Amino acid sequence: MSDSSCPTLRFSSESREFERLRTRYFNGRVPPTTPAIICCPKSTAEVVAEILVANNRGTKAGVRSGGHLFPCTSLVQDGLLIDTCELNRTIEYNPKTRVVSFGPAVTVKELAHYLTGISRFFPFGHSPSVGAAGFLLAGGQGWFLRGWGCTSDTWITQLEIVTASGKTIIANKEQNSDIFWAAPGSGQGFFAVVTRIWARTIPAKSIFDTTIVLDTTGIFKPLLKYILRKCDELPKYGVDVAISTCYADRDAKGTHDDSNDNRVLINVNCTAYADSAEEANVLLKPLDSISESYKNCMLVRVPTEKRTWADLWKIQDDFAPSGGGERWQCDSILNDPQVPLDQLVDAITPALQDLPSRLTVGFICVADYYPDERDQALSLPQKYYISTMSCWRDPRRDQVMRKWMLDTYSRAGEVSCGQYAADFDATQRMSKIMTDSALTRWLEVREKWDPEEMFVGHRGFSDILRKECIMPKHKL
């Protein structure tokens, strides 16, 4: 039922649209949490109107853009869900400043199409359907992160924000700089609505990639150590390295959750951003030679080829399918830089090798990124981002899968300095998402901008400072 007192599209639970909108998430495992109202504002003024009504009524709120956060924390029981799917859905480029601006739910695919059309680039995310605001509030592990850092760091120049008191503000390094500082790394905890984003751009180049697939049977740990050392030989600028693990029958036809093939493969995918094939070959040269000890386990080598974004998205979509009843969970660690490689590999091997279902993927992003907490709340060092995205279809497996993740990442957590904010799940394992000093400052900024706590996604963040909550015993 839409409410005619307000121009914004608003839906209550009696509406036919309500359930479709409530479950508009990448994850098929949407919790039963039911907001009182879901609204889809088209303009910043409509967001302001929604916030003022919520403010008067003391309603709690959540915000959704692309809907990729696996725990679906934008759903607030009996609260307001502000779905930005229609909000300011335009992309504009200013040729004088070379800055592009766009709405919060604009996707990677839309940004890439637009920017390719004008031969410009900034590092958006890898998956075509990820929303801009959620991606940037997590920090944004965008393309070519090793050289440029997270996208929030040096690419995002300004945000338009509607605050919990219903004010529209511009936030950048000069104006409202505290909320601009707090946004990257907030993830689900952000305490206002991002309504528009500005990013600087550079001239576009071409993308080239190469992949090696290796069978890890009997040699998982030494092979992984070898690959991680090899990655250090690759130049930092213009080269991405993604290492993933999966069962050999991952792409088999059928909907079965269990693997029938106990071989685990490692895929090493390297992408270069270059002006020519010759330049790409120079950037990716260290991968040309593989030690004699591991040559026998190499199953495939895809030579370096020029790619389109669409080619890369197809690989992404095949690796992370959605919309077919897939149920997802993710946990991650950022490795503690003090922990030696042998100890790190011992601790993370179960997360990457003992995969709990056929569609589950282990992942290492070689990030090589060391942010400065004076610049942004996103502050933990990211040499390696190590994660497992577990996927299954049978809802009866939910408990078993969650227990696997908790057990496996409690172990991996021992060699970590925290986790990426996008993977924070207060109902599962608690881990740091910022340094303690950044989080202390972040909590103060949050309190200043949302003293009545309209936005509740941050709940659980303050518990992170209590050391005993970092590694809870099994909660299941």
Ligand X SMILES: Cc1cc2nc3c(=O)[nH]c(=O)nc-3n(C[C@H](O)[C@H](O)[C@H](O)COP(=O)(O)OP(=O)(O)OC[C@H]3O[C@@H](n4cnc5c(N)ncnc54)[C@H](O)[C@@H]3O)c2cc1C
- Return residues touching ligand X (CB under 6 A): 26, 63-69, 73-74, 84, 104, 125-127, 130-131, 133-135, 137-138, 140-141, 188, 190, 193-194, 320, 422, 457
How far apart are the C-alpha atoms of 393 and 376, rounded to whole Å?
Answer: 38
Instruction: Tell me how far apart the alpha carbons of residues 102 and 199 are, in angstroms, rounded to a whole number.
Output: 9
Q: How far is the CB of 125 from ligand X (least distance, A)?
A: 4
Structure tokens given for 342: 């042998």
120: β partners:
203
E-strand stretches of 292-410 = 298-307, 327-335, 361-369, 382-392
Q: From the CB of 72, what's the least distance to ligand X, in Å?
A: 7
Q: Which residue's Cβ lies closest to ligand X?
A: 134
Q: Which of 134, 418 has the CB closer to ligand X?
A: 134
Identify the burial level of 251 via C-beta atoms within 10 angstroms of its C-beta, where 0-12 means exposed, 13-18 middle and 19 or more buried.
Answer: exposed
CA distances to 8, 345, 388, 457 from 48, in Å: 11, 49, 38, 19
Cα gap 20→15, rounded to integer Å: 10
**If we measure between CA atoms, which residue out of 57, 61, 36 comes closest to residue 455?**
61
Least distance in angstroms from the C-beta of 340 to ligand X? 27
Minimum distance between the CB of residue 150 and ligand X, rounded to whole angstroms? 7
Q: How far is the CB of 64 from ligand X (least distance, A)?
A: 4
The distance of closest approach from Cβ of residue 67 to ligand X in the complex, given in angstroms and rounded to an integer, is 5
Give the tokens for residue 464.
Answer: 């992170």
Which tokens in the block code for residue 31?
């919790």
The length of the chain, given as a count of residues:
476
Dihedral angle sign, alpha carbons of residues 83, 88, 91, 93: negative
- Minimum separation from the CB atom of position 79 to ligand X (A): 12
User: Strand runs (DSSP E) across 54-136, as ranges?
Assistant: 61-64, 80-83, 91-94, 99-102, 120-121
The tokens for 381 are 């060092």
Minimum distance, C-beta of residue 137 to ligand X, in the bound complex (Å): 5
CB 27 to ligand X: min, Å? 8
**Residue closer to ligand X (CB basis): 172 or 293:** 172
Other beta carbons within 10 Å of 359: 25
Cα(364)–Cα(355) distance, integer angstroms: 14
Parallel, antiparallel or unpaired: strands 9-12 and 37-40: antiparallel
The sheet with strand 156-162 has its strands ordered as 91-94, 99-102, 193-200, 156-162, 168-171
- Cβ atoms 132, 103 nearer than 8 A: yes
